[in-house]
Structure 1
Amino acid sequence: MRIERDELPPLPDGERVAGAKRRSGEGAAPTDPTKRNAGATARARKLRVNETEAEYRLWGELRGRHLNGYKFVRQVPLGPFITDFVCREKGLIVELDGSQHADSPTDPARTAWLNGHGYSVLRFWNHEVLAERRAVLDTILACLDGKISTPSPGLRLAPATLSPLGRGGKLR
């Protein structure tokens, strides 16, 4: 069987043979970092199906505008990342972290990227959601209402460094 140059798979490091063309939509890394990576939607769908108990419990409180009318979506691809919960109207991302995030070297870079693109990031540990859900919801609501807006290592809030309108000129 003869393989055309257009059909060559990527090399292990993601590069292609010089002159080879990529078929549209196949594993292409976006040239714009604000665009989704190929396959992000499929990965997000899998995450929605395989949610943790903490994600399940919190989603039950956030879905359908249950939290004072604020609309949340879950497992949303944003640029190179998939976020747990997003209130687009307020530019707030709520992340639930398990023990694998305790000393994660990638979390600060991820948060910085999201902050730089107009999103505030609020993090909770899974056990906080399971044991103190009312306090978690009150904290989320305080951030949405602007009552909490300064960085806080103890609260694990990282406010956006760009205004919500800086996210492409419109709220997404």
Structure 2
Amino acid sequence: MELTPLARKLRREMTEAERLLWYHLRNRRLGGLKFRRQVPIGPYIVDFLCLEKRVIVEIDGGQHNFPDERARDLERTRFLEYKGYKVLRFWNNEVLGNLEGVLSVILEACQSSFSSSWSPSS
């Protein structure tokens, strides 16, 4: 399945929390780091990606609290970590209620993360 059209649709239909976070991540506003949004990686579309630092940021709504969704999220996280990414997950209400804290965690993860030259086979 081609994920690019779906990724484009998701970019147009971001949640309030995603829009708020994107405002602070775009145009290298956070630590001079380049982030992209709604990026296909393997069979998944991740919310935000800093490719240089191999950090993925996922913003989860209430539907992720159900057991089936948690199992899918765990499978997705394992796949992405196997591919060499660090995955950060935040709830929508965390972004909306504690934006500075969320940005601080993201920046810290990027500062301590791998560079893009790292690969799982090395």
1: CA distance, partners of 2:121 / 2:12:
30
In structure 2, relative to structure 1, the CA distance for the partners of 1:119 and 1:56 (3 Å cut) is same
RCO (CA 8 Å, sep 6+): is it higher in 1 or 2? 2
Kept in 2: contact 1:40–1:82 (CA 8 A) = yes
Kept in 2: contact 1:119–1:164 (CA 8 A) = no
* Counterpart check, 1:86 vs 2:52: no
Give the helix-richer structure, 1 or 2: 2
2: CA distance, partners of 1:62 / 1:109:
26
Could you give the per-residue CA deviations for residues 46-68 of structure 1, whole angstroms, max 9, x where no partner exists? 00001000000000000000001
Could you give the per-residue CA deviations for residues 9-61 of structure 1, whole angstroms, max 9, x where no partner exists? xxxxxxxxxxxxxxxxxxxxxxxxxxxxx320000000000100000000000
* Counterpart check, 1:56 vs 2:9: no
* Consecutive unaligned residues in structure 2, runs of 5 or more: none
Q: Kindly report structure 1 stretches of 4+ aligned residues shifted beyond 6 Å.
A: none
1:165 to 112, 118, 122: 118
Q: Which has the larger radius of gyration?
A: 1
Kept in 2: contact 1:86–1:92 (CA 8 A) = yes
TM-score (norm 1): 0.65
In structure 2, relative to structure 1, the CA distance for the partners of 1:168 and 1:62 (3 Å cut) is farther
Q: Secondary structure at the match of 1:106?
A: helix
2: CA distance, partners of 1:80 / 1:39:
9
Kept in 2: contact 1:118–1:164 (CA 8 A) = no
- Using the TM superposition, give the Cα deviation of residue 166 of structure 1 relative to its aligned residue in structure 2, in angstroms: 1.2
Give the strand-richer structure, 1 or 2: 2
Kept in 1: contact 2:38–2:48 (CA 8 A) = yes
Q: Residue 139 of structure 1 corresponds to which residue in structure 2?
A: 105
Q: Residue 94 of structure 2 corresponds to which residue in structure 1?
A: 128
RMSD: 1.9
Kept in 2: contact 1:92–1:120 (CA 8 A) = yes
2: CA distance, partners of 1:167 / 1:41:
25
Kept in 1: contact 2:37–2:48 (CA 8 A) = yes
Kept in 2: contact 1:44–1:82 (CA 8 A) = yes
Q: Secondary structure at the match of 1:165?
A: coil
Alignment of 1:34-45 (within 5 A): 38-45=1-8
